[in-house]
Chain A
Amino acid sequence: SQTIHQWPATLVQPVGSPLSLECTVEGTSNPNLYWYRQAAGRGLQLLFYSVGIGQISSEVPQNLSASRPQDRQFILSSKKLLLSDSGFYLCAWSVGGFDYGYTFGSGTRLTVV
């Protein structure tokens, strides 16, 4: 069966520090991968979207970047965190086409102090 792993679960980082969040998927090939962010009490904002290795679409201009070095690995990064980067970050995967929805990871709660 397919599983998605996301880590770490929680993270407290100072302003100006770098960030690296990793997401891996098992049990499927060539998934579509997504990074979402959820601010407190808000909906989920799509940040990045990838349909294959090295193919990244940015949905919102921001202080973050994403990379997909392997088929089932998706990394969210920042060179210098801002206070506004705090939030709940979620990785998700789907297969292309009529896919019966996305499967989300357990999320990373990032607090920038």
Chain B
Amino acid sequence: LAKTTQPISMDSYEGQEVNITCSHNNIATNDYITWYQQFPSQGPRFIIQGYKTKVTNEVASLFIPADRKSSTLSLPRVSLSDTAVYYCLVGYEKLTFGTGTRLTIIP
């Protein structure tokens, strides 16, 4: 399984755009890149998934360069409710979650 590296924590002000980058140098050909959000005492919630280039949905965008060795989750105009832990996962099945990035939004 491909290993991922992401920042342990990040702070941002309300209304800003937040970009969280994840490195996955050993990504395999059939691996997808998936991001989850987790609030305290809750299960992770799927945010977005992609294979290459750019994916956008109603809550986030995912940018994946051509070599797929990294990816960037972009959260537009964050609010206090976006304070959570964000996990980057790479794989196809039996996904393993690392410690994630603890994002704190400051009023």
Binding site for B on A (CB under 8 A): 32, 34, 36, 42-46, 49, 57, 59, 88, 90, 92, 94, 96, 98, 100-107, 109
A-B contact pairs, 7 of them (CB 8 A): A32-B93, A36-B97, A44-B87, A45-B97, A49-B94, A101-B46, A101-B49
B29 proximal to A (CB < 8 A): no
**B54 contacts the other chain (CB 8 A):** no
**CB atoms of A98 and B46 under 8 A apart:** no
Contact residues in B for A88 (Cβ distance below 8 Å): 41
Interface centre among B41, B43, B96 (most CB of A within 10 A): B43
Per the CB 8 Å criterion, the residue count for chain B at the interface is: 19
Contact B36–A101 (Cβ < 8 Å): yes
A107/B36 in contact, CB under 8 A = no
- Contact of A43 with B41 at beta-carbon distance under 8 Å, contacts A101-B34, A101-B49 already known: no
Q: A42-B99, A98-B32, A101-B49 are in contact. Are A59 and B41 (CB under 8 A)?
A: no
A43 x B87 contact (CB < 8 A): yes
CA distance A101 to B95 in the complex (A): 9
Cα A88 to Cα B42 in complex, Å, equals 9
Task: Classify the secondary structure of B's interface with A.
Answer: loop
Chain A proximity mask over B64-107: 1 for CB below 8 Å, otherwise 0 = 00000000000000000000000100000111111110000000
Q: Shortest beta-carbon distance, A66 to chain B, in Å?
A: 14
Is the Cβ of A44 less than 8 Å from the Cβ of B42? no
- Secondary structure call for the A interface: strand
With contacts A32-B93, A43-B87, A101-B36 taken as known, whether A109 is within 8 angstroms of B98 at the C-beta atoms is: no
List the B residue with the shortest CB-CB distance to A59.
B94
Q: Hey, what's the 0/1 contact readout for B20-37 against A, CB within 8 Å counting as 1?
A: 000000000000101010
* Residues of the B chain whose Cβ atoms lie less than 8 Å from the Cβ of A106: 42-43
A98 CB, min distance to chain B CBs, angstroms: 7
Which residues between 32 and 69 of chain B lie within 8 Å of chain A, taking CB atoms? 32, 34, 36, 41-46, 49
